[in-house]
Amino acid sequence: MCGIAGVFGNHAEQYDVEKMLHYISHRGESSYQAETNRASGFNFGTNRLAIVDENMGRQPFYSPDAKVQCVLNGEIYNHNELRKNLQKHYAFKSSCDSEVVLAGYLHFGEEIFELIQGMYAVAIYDSNKQTWYLARDHLGIKPLYYAFDEEHCLFSSELKSFYGLNIDVILDFPCGAVMKNRAFTRPGKNYRFNDENSGKWSDANAINVGIDKLKRAVSKMLPRKGEIAACMLSGGVDSSSILTLMRNLHEGPVVAYTFYNKDASSSDDYEAAKIICEHLDVPLRVVTPTHLQLTDFYKAKGVWMTETYEPALVRNAVSYHFLSQKISDDGFKFALSGEGADEVLGGYDYFELFPKNEIDLNIGYALNQLNHTYLKMTDRASMFATLEVRVPYLDEDWVAFNTELPGEFRIRNNENKWLLRNMMSRLMPDIIRNRPKLGMNQGAGFGSNDPGKSIYYKAISEYYKTSPDRMKADLKTISNYKENYQIDESNPEEVFNFCRYIEHGFTKLKGSENRPQLNTSTLISAITN
């Protein structure tokens, strides 16, 4: 895992890749900053978070003749299987999955992108063919942005790397796509739920296959035997299921982390987390920041860290970051999370508001937008603390299995996530298995995400009350963007966030005026009114 940045094209050295990497230094450890290489036609590098083979894992990896270079951000979960097939063709120098991608390209060519499974963003330069590639995983779990000038293609793990560069438009690399020399050779991937198999699956069969698939997904993401495994835990059915499978599958200790407000009269998440941890005999570590710590961080770094102006995403990102920072401070380089379950399993309450024949269509929309919403939040918030988060619910095989199931396995008799809840019926207490979904801040006791009730909304409202001139200046700034952006000028949090978004240069991102969160809220309002 790392942050990658670079340039393809003649005289690529004219771009300061070290500076691009500096802006995303949080994505790597201090010992492995700006590991770069350059030659005619390319200039790229990484900030490395060393998880496998720390001593030999320096990137970029290059071929024996140094003609092919490769950088990878992410994890290739089937790299050991691929390594076995490649050993007779390539002399490996490390245990790293990045080198497996390089060896695979040398042997299979572009076909390697059809063989790797995991969460990744990859860049390869082949000077023998004067060819370069960019590729991204099936759901965009790992970020990848790119931009063009007349002669070059620039890329990075985050928008921050483009700050100050003379670039007009930044693009979000499509999920599941492969680009070769500016042309896509594999298009982006869009998932659809298939309701044509309604007679194929019995309840028992779906439950048995489902638990096997999810066990396999969790197993891929566990640390080595004997090492401690960390899990982010809210006490809901999603994260509790991951913790349960970790406890049952991992040959080593497991520890859980939860986030809550110790000054609140109650925290539903904390109480539930205690129940499941006691049931599993797993130690629970708690993260208890103050209101002031959270709101000060939000105002100073929230938008810069998260690279969005959506209030709900920035709020969750700040809370998620404090949880991630504690896990990182405790010495972990990665943790497992329940992120993505709602989008795969139909977990949001609003899905049930749609006509039955439209439910799966809207679940699919949420899944395909995930890289713009909660995956983006998860990646930025955790990597800002130099922590990798692994997401079993977004494993490629598990997602593919779920898309083949009819809708009754997602929502049945007003029960969402029907399949998961029934898969776990014998593995966890019913009070956890049947627990309704709560937003992160609400469950932790920091107020809901409704405007006026959030601690962040209140903090920014107070900020503008004490700085009325700043409010006027920010509203004036917004007036220049009204034609393309939907910003509620009566909402101080939206005003504040969008002005910071402008200041950081993030409006260069093509499509940044689109707001999946706002679109969903508008849709729900239309259905219910």
Q: Could you tell me how many helices (H) and strands (E) the chain has, helices first?
A: 21, 19
**Tokens linked to 126:** 């082949």
Helix (H, G, I), strand (E, B) or coil at 486: coil
Total residue count of the chain as it appears in this document: 529
Distance, in Å, from the CA atom of 393 to the CA atom of 343, rounded to the nearest integer, reads 9
Q: How far is Cα 36 from Cα 132, in angstroms, rounded to an integer?
A: 17
Tokens of 121: 């963003």
454 is in an annotated binding site: no
Are 13 and 56 in contact by the 8 Å Cβ rule? The answer is no
Are 399 and 345 within 8 A, CB to CB?
no
CA 498, 501, 502, 508 dihedral sign is negative
Report the 10 Å Cβ neighbour count for 73. 32
Distance CA 481, CA 513 (A): 10
Q: Sort residue 144 into left (φ over 0), alpha (ψ -120 to 50) or beta.
A: beta
- Is-contact 32 50, C-beta < 8 A? yes
Give the separation between CA 305 and CA 26, rounded to whole angstroms.
10
Q: Please tell me the number of Cα atoms within 13 Å of 307 on its side-chain side.
A: 32
- Which residues are known catalytic residues? 2
The SS3 call for residue 389 is: strand
Buried b (16+ CB within 10 A) or exposed e, 124-133: bbbbeeebbb
Report whether 199 belongs to an annotated binding site.
no
CA distances from 76 to 79, 317, 337, 442, 479 (A): 5, 25, 17, 35, 45
**Residue 97 counted as an annotated binding residue:** yes
- Binding site residue list for L-glutamine: 97
- Binding site residue list: 97, 337-338
